[in-house]
């Protein structure tokens, strides 16, 4: 047990760097920035696995050693407890009056009759056995509180199972996040998600078959002070390859559950829509998600239009303010997250966006290198409300058509979650049992007083684990025994005479 406690302490200590340092599986950009800013120290931490603490060899080694230690603790304790359950209560000590709690009675019953009544009183809650120690002397041994050790064992067994389930969950879980604008949807495939993490045992070809066919609408209910009260994402989804369309509403902390997966609502924002009409070209309409920059959903994003030929692309950097405030010189911000006559501030660039080069690019910002090199030139800037347009020098018309809302959804799969909850509940139940149940031992010896012909009954009790008042408990039991054998307490001096003649 000492080894297990040391390993548990080491495990907690080893987890500290995982909360203080950025972790590569969760946030690779932060790890890259840390390495760039800390030089040799950062490279040293990287070599010893500090940026992937929970996947490192040394953390796994401590975890496995804790498993082995817990198993080594539990197996002998289970064997000892099993033997204790089969064993009879211990024989009565020679002198019961020396125990912490004791008392004596006299009865007209024979020793056998008195012992039978004592056993009948104790048996509903005590495990009792009767022994004939010698002719005319019968002893009853009783014990209770065996479930205390059972609760302790249950707690540790469930702790071990919980650790196994956590490890199994990390191997079999997967989680994907996707940003979905009203009118669009996604299917449960790894390539559909904006970010994706999965355990090493996950086969992406065998993911649950379902699709969120469409985010029908996203609504926010606001309080009078302007703060959000409730978020609702109404979706249409289907299960399997050709399942019928179903409808549901996802709210915060109330996910949609499909085939063992859970779809959570994480975040929301706005997706402005613009139309670009170049002379002699068909109109091009695009809705792009903008990322919030503050609590009032002042959001930034871009539109990227690939024109005919080289150097005829149009890039638009936009700032969307749902409840606009003009701060002067055309600079706007938002006063609240509620959409009240929203404004789209745009900066328009012309030139080469580099879209046809086959290299990855961000959908939320224009390439800074294109602007620095002069491949993109700023040609116009203007703040537009819905329905307003901006006309460029070559006759190109850019119109702000309005906006939609987007919701960030997270799909999570963990087949061990229910079992982990059951293990946690049983851990609490075992802990409560081990703390509340008290071990008690009680002995009653009945012998014949040859001078009076009556039976002398001596009772003694011992609290093996003590919290609580065993004195009051013993007095209550002693009163019940007195009523059962039809007797009163022994007068002063009588007990000594009776005991001396035995």
Q: What is the pLDDT of residue 375?
A: 84
Please state the rounded mean pLDDT for residues 263-279: 94
What are the residues facing 454 on neighbouring strands? Answer: 449
State how far the Cα of 371 lies from the Cα of 354, in Å rounded to an integer: 11
Single pTM value for the model: 0.70
Whether residue 195 sits in one domain with residue 101: no
Is 323 a domain residue? yes
Whether residue 126 sits in one domain with residue 11: no
Contact present, 309 and 351 (Cβ < 8 Å): no
Q: Name the DSSP letter for residue 215.
A: E
Q: What is the pLDDT of residue 487?
A: 61
Other C-beta atoms closer than 10 Å to the C-beta of 50 total 20
Among 104-113, 126-135, 353-362, 457-466, the range scoring the smallest mean pLDDT is 353-362
Full domain range(s) for residue 211: 172-269+410-427
State how far the Cα of 23 lies from the Cα of 466, in Å rounded to an integer: 47
Whether residue 467 sits in one domain with residue 414: no
* Coil/strand/helix, residue 500: helix
Provide the sign of the torsion angle of the four alpha carbons 21, 25, 26, 27, taken in this order: positive
Is 302 a domain residue? yes
User: Helix 470-485 and helix 111-122: axis angle, to 10°?
Assistant: 130
3-class SS letters over 306-346: CCCCCCCEEEEEEEEECCEEECCCCCEEECCCCCCCCEEEE
Contact present, 444 and 481 (Cβ < 8 Å): yes
Please state the rounded mean pLDDT for residues 144-158: 89
Is 153 a domain residue? no
**Mean pLDDT, all residues of the chain:** 88
Helix (H) or strand (E) holding 432: helix 417-436
Name the domain count of the chain: 4
Is 151 a domain residue? no
Which of 478, 490, 468, 447 shows the shortest CA–CA distance to 122?
478
Whether residue 382 sits in one domain with residue 312: yes
Please state the rounded mean pLDDT for residues 230-237: 94
Q: What is the pLDDT of residue 371?
A: 82
Out of 83, 105, 133, a domain closes at: 83
Confidence tier at 466 by pLDDT (50, 70, 90): low
Q: Which two tokens stand for residue 87?
A: 């064993």
Would you say residue 386 has pLDDT above 50?
Answer: yes
What are the residues facing 400 on neighbouring strands? Answer: 274
Residue 453 makes CB contacts below 8 A (sequence gap 6+) with none
Contact present, 392 and 379 (Cβ < 8 Å): yes
Contact present, 462 and 101 (Cβ < 8 Å): yes
Whether residue 112 sits in one domain with residue 72: no
The percent of residues above 70 in pLDDT, for the chain, comes to 95
Which of 327, 320, 333, 325 shows the shortest CA–CA distance to 400?
320
* Radius of gyration in angstroms for the set of CA atoms belonging to the chain, rounded to a whole number: 38
Whether residue 398 sits in one domain with residue 280: yes
Contact present, 212 and 185 (Cβ < 8 Å): yes
Confidence tier at 468 by pLDDT (50, 70, 90): low
Residue 190 makes CB contacts below 8 A (sequence gap 6+) with 174, 176, 196, 198, 204, 207
Whether residue 59 sits in one domain with residue 33: yes
Please state the rounded mean pLDDT for residues 25-31: 81
Is 432 a domain residue? no
Residue 391 makes CB contacts below 8 A (sequence gap 6+) with 397, 398
Please state the rounded mean pLDDT for residues 221-248: 89
Among 183-197, 262-276, 436-450, 486-500, the range scoring the smallest mean pLDDT is 486-500
Whether residue 382 sits in one domain with residue 289: yes
Whether residue 49 sits in one domain with residue 10: yes
Among 32-41, 109-118, 214-223, 486-495, the range scoring the smallest mean pLDDT is 486-495
Please state the rounded mean pLDDT for residues 317-335: 89
Q: Cα(first)–Cα(last) distance of the chain, in Å? A: 48
Is 115 a domain residue? yes
Other C-beta atoms closer than 10 Å to the C-beta of 441 total 20
State how far the Cα of 357 lies from the Cα of 354, in Å rounded to an integer: 6
Whether residue 377 sits in one domain with residue 284: yes
Contact present, 239 and 259 (Cβ < 8 Å): yes
Other C-beta atoms closer than 10 Å to the C-beta of 338 total 15
Q: What is the pLDDT of residue 284?
A: 94
Whether residue 371 sits in one domain with residue 277: yes
The percent of residues above 90 in pLDDT, for the chain, comes to 50
Residue 476 makes CB contacts below 8 A (sequence gap 6+) with none
Whether residue 397 sits in one domain with residue 327: yes
Please state the rounded mean pLDDT for residues 243-253: 93
Contact present, 342 and 270 (Cβ < 8 Å): yes
For 221-263, the DSSP string reads EE-TTS-EEEEEEEEEEEETTTPPPEEEEEETTB-EEETTEEE
Q: What is the pLDDT of residue 357?
A: 67
In tens, the pLDDT along 12-24 reads 999 999 889 998 8
In tens, the pLDDT along 482-495 reads 988 876 444 434 43
- Burial class of residue 342 in the structure, from the number of CB atoms within 10 Å of its CB (0-12 exposed, 13-18 middle, 19+ buried): buried
Is 462 a domain residue? yes
Q: What is the pLDDT of residue 354?
A: 79
Please state the rounded mean pLDDT for residues 305-326: 90
Q: Which two tokens stand for residue 14?
A: 């080893």
What are the residues facing 443 on neighbouring strands? Answer: 141, 460
State how far the Cα of 140 lies from the Cα of 113, in Å rounded to an integer: 12
């Amino acid at each position: 047990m000492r080894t297990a406690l040391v390993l548990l302490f080491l495990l907690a200590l080893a987890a500290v760097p995982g909360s203080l340092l950025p972790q590569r599986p969760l946030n690779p950009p932060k790890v890259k920035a840390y390495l760039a800013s800390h030089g040799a120290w950062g490279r040293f931490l990287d070599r010893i696995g500090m940026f992937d603490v929970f996947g490192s060899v040394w953390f796994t080694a401590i975890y496995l050693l804790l498993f082995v230690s817990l198993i080594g603790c539990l197996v002998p304790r289970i064997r000892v407890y099993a033997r204790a359950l089969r064993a009879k209560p211990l024989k009565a000590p020679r002198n019961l009056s020396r125990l912490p709690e004791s008392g004596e009675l006299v009865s007209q019953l024979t020793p056998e009759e008195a012992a039978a009544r004592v056993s009948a009183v104790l048996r509903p809650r005590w495990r009792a056995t009767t022994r004939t120690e010698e002719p005319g002397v019968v002893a009853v041994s009783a014990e209770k509180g065996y479930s205390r050790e059972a609760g302790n064992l249950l707690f540790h067994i469930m702790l071990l199972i919980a650790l196994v389930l956590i490890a199994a969950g990390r191997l079999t879980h997967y989680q994907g996040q996707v940003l979905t604008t009203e009118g669009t949807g996604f299917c449960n495939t790894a390539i559909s998600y904006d970010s994706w993490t999965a355990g090493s045992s996950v086969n992406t070809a065998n993911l649950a078959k379902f699709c969120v066919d469409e985010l029908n609408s996203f609504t926010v209910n606001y309080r009078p002070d302007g703060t959000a009260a409730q978020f609702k994402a109404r979706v249409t989804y289907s299960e399997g390859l050709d399942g019928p369309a179903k409808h549901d509403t996802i709210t915060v902390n109330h996910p949609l559950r499909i085939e063992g997966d859970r779809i959570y609502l994480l975040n929301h924002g706005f997706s402005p829509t613009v139309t670009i009409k170049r002379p002699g070209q068909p109109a091009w309409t695009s809705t792009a998600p903008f990322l919030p920059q503050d609590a009032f959903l002042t959001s930034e994003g871009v539109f990227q239009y690939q024109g005919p030929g080289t150097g005829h692309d149009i890039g638009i950097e936009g700032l969307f303010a749902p409840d606009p405030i003009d701060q002067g010189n055309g600079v706007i911000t938002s006063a609240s997250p509620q959409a009240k006559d929203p404004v789209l501030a745009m900066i328009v660039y012309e030139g080469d966006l580099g879209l046809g080069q086959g290299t990855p690019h961000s959908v939320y910002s224009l390439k800074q290198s294109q602007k620095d090199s002069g491949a993109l030139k700023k040609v116009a800037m203007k703040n537009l409300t819905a329905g307003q347009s901006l006309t460029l020098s070559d006759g190109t018309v850019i119109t702000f058509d309005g906006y939609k809302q987007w919701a960030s959804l997270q799909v999570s799969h963990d087949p061990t979650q229910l079992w982990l909850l059951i293990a946690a509940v049983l851990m609490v139940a075992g802990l409560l049992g081990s703390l509340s149940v008290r071990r008690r031992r009680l002995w009653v010896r009945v012998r014949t007083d040859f001078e009076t012909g009556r039976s002398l009954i001596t009772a003694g009790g011992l609290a093996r684990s003590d919290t609580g008042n065993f004195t009051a408990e013993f007095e209550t039991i002693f009163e019940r025994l007195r009523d059962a054998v039809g007797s009163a307490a022994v007068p002063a001096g009588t007990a000594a005479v009776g005991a001396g003649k035995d």
